Structure 1
Amino acid sequence: MMPVPSAQQVRDWADSCGPLLPLVFFLVHTLVCVTPFPRTVFTVSAGMLFGPALGLSLAIAATTVSAVLALLLVRALDKDRVRARLTHPTVRAIDTRLARRGWLAVGSLRLIAFAPFAVVNYCAGLSSVRTVPYVIATFLGIIPGTIGTVLLADALTNHTSPAQILVSGACIAIGILGLVLDTRLATPEEDLVPEVAAEPEPVRP
Structure 2
Amino acid sequence: MSETAIGEQAAMLAKQNSFLRQHGTKLLALLFWGILVGGYYLYANANELTLLDSLHLVVNFLTASLLGPLFYIVIYALRPLLFFPATILTLLGGFLFGPIGILWTIIGSNASALIAYTVGRYFGQGILDSEEETNLIQKYTQRMRQNSFETVLIMRLLFLPYDLVNYAAGFLKIRWQPFILATVIGSIPGTVSVVLFASSFGTLDELMSGDFQISPLTLIVSIGLILVSIGLSRLIKRREASEN
Normalising by structure 2, we get a TM-score of 0.64
> Cα deviation per residue 1:99-142 (whole Å; 9 max; x = unaligned)?
235432322332354x3221111111122532111111111111
Structure with the larger RCO, 1 or 2 (CA within 8 Å, 6+ apart): 1
Aligned residue identity for 2:97: F
In the TM superposition, residue 10 of structure 1 has moved relative to its aligned partner by 5.8
Write out the 4+ residue segments of structure 1 that deviate beyond 4 Å after TM superposition.
Answer: 7-12
Which residue does 1:198 correspond to in 2? none
The 5 Å alignment of 1:138-157 reads 138-157=183-202
Distance in structure 2 (CA, Å) of the matches to 1:129 and 1:170: 34
Query: CA 1:119–1:35 in 2, change beyond 3 Å: closer, same or farther?
Result: farther
1:109–1:179: 8 Å Cα contact kept in structure 2?
no
Which residue does 1:28 correspond to in 2? 75
The gaps in structure 1 that reach 5 residues or longer are: 191-205
The 5 Å alignment of 1:45-84 reads 45-53=92-100, 55-77=101-123, 79=124, 81-83=125-127
In the TM superposition, residue 171 of structure 1 has moved relative to its aligned partner by 1.2
Aligned residue identity for 1:92: N
Higher helix share: 2
Determine helix, strand or coil for the equivalent of 1:23.
helix
Distance in structure 2 (CA, Å) of the matches to 1:32 and 1:185: 33
Distance in structure 2 (CA, Å) of the matches to 1:110 and 1:10: 33
Normalising by structure 1, we get a TM-score of 0.75
**1:99 equivalent in alignment to 2:142:** yes
2:93–2:195: 8 Å Cα contact kept in structure 1?
yes
The gaps in structure 2 that reach 5 residues or longer are: 1-28, 34-50, 203-211
